[in-house]
Amino acid sequence: MYRIASKKVLNPTVTQMEIEAPLVARKAKPGQFIILRVDEEGERIPLTVAGTDVAAGTVKIIFQTVGATTETLSHKEAGEYIQDFVGPLGEATKTDGIKKICIIGGGVGCAIAMPVAQEFHRLGAEVTSIIGFRNKDLLILEDEFRECSDELIVMTDDGSYGRHGNVTVPLKEMLEEGRQFDMIITIGPLIMMKFVVLAAKPFGVPVTVSMNPIMIDGTGMCGCCRITLVRDGKRITKFACVDGPDFDGYEIDFDEAMSRGRMYAEFERHAYEEACNLFKKA
């Protein structure tokens, strides 16, 4: 059992928790993830490591309430326990040789982008961060990004905060002005990452994307998290849990990934509604 050391509501659908897991805290690096179960009957879900405190032995997770498990987890309070917390899993984000980095996060994907930006800042890289949300009410982690970024641009789809538009708007402006980046790292909805890649392609800037497909065991055995890369005209199957979650954005078959991501949408919706009804009755 793993104790919830703290809980903080970041916006109406996004929650931050710190979990007491000393061994995971000691080993986890930016870009890696954990798999947890809320209780003995619960499903396994992957969540990115959003930060660690080695001295306190805690691991920070940030999650959006979108399904039955995250709905159940959101009702847990500090001092309570969850059943399983396994990690770190996956490959850490590569940082070698990168001096100028552009980090682009969308929505709850900013929870994954934040520790990556913090790590590049710690290493002395010049960090430009672009974070995007549908509206002001969904904004998260602005202060944390500002602390670790040489430049921070906040975008909202409806213009209610920061600049009006999506994250590709300032990216295109900077690239057209001749701004140079060793790498662009983008983390968020698949459609957002797809268009970041398309925006960067004419300028030849390397783009890393963080993939978060359906996942069960986190070891590559179940095959649920497979994604398709297109390399030199050949289609190559990789597994996000062991080969990723970071991949070359120019190689990802985004259309296939989005199609696979929608496969269980109806099932997830029904499970979420059932979980909500249980808590309402309680």
- pLDDT tens by residue, 227-245: 999 999 899 999 988 998 9
Q: Which of 75, 86, 90 is nearest to 7 (CA)?
A: 75
When the pLDDT of each residue in the chain is averaged and rounded to a whole number, the result is: 91
Q: Are residues 83 and 110 in the same domain?
A: no
Q: Is residue 277 part of a domain?
A: no
Q: Are residues 123 and 240 in the same domain?
A: yes
pLDDT at residue 21 above 90?
yes
Domain CATH code at residue 137: 3.40.50.80
pLDDT for res 260: 80
Sign of CA dihedral 22, 24, 29, 30: negative
Domain of 245 in residue numbering reads as 100-261
CB 135 within 8 A of CB 162: no
Q: Is residue 278 part of a domain?
A: no
pLDDT for res 62: 93
pLDDT for res 159: 95
Q: pLDDT digit string (tens) for 139-149?
A: 999 999 999 99
CA distances from 241 to 39, 81, 113, 124, 228 (A): 22, 25, 17, 29, 14
Q: Are residues 66 and 150 in the same domain?
A: no
Q: Are residues 161 and 240 in the same domain?
A: yes
Q: Is residue 187 part of a domain?
A: yes
Q: How confident is the model at residue 220 (pLDDT cuts 50, 70, 90)?
A: confident
Total count of domains within the chain = 2
Count how many Cα atoms sit within 13 Å of the Cα of residue 156 in the half-sphere of its side chain. 13
Q: Are residues 35 and 110 in the same domain?
A: no
Q: Are residues 13 and 78 in the same domain?
A: yes
Q: Are residues 18 and 108 in the same domain?
A: no
Alpha carbons 174 and 160: distance in angstroms, whole number: 23
pLDDT for res 277: 56
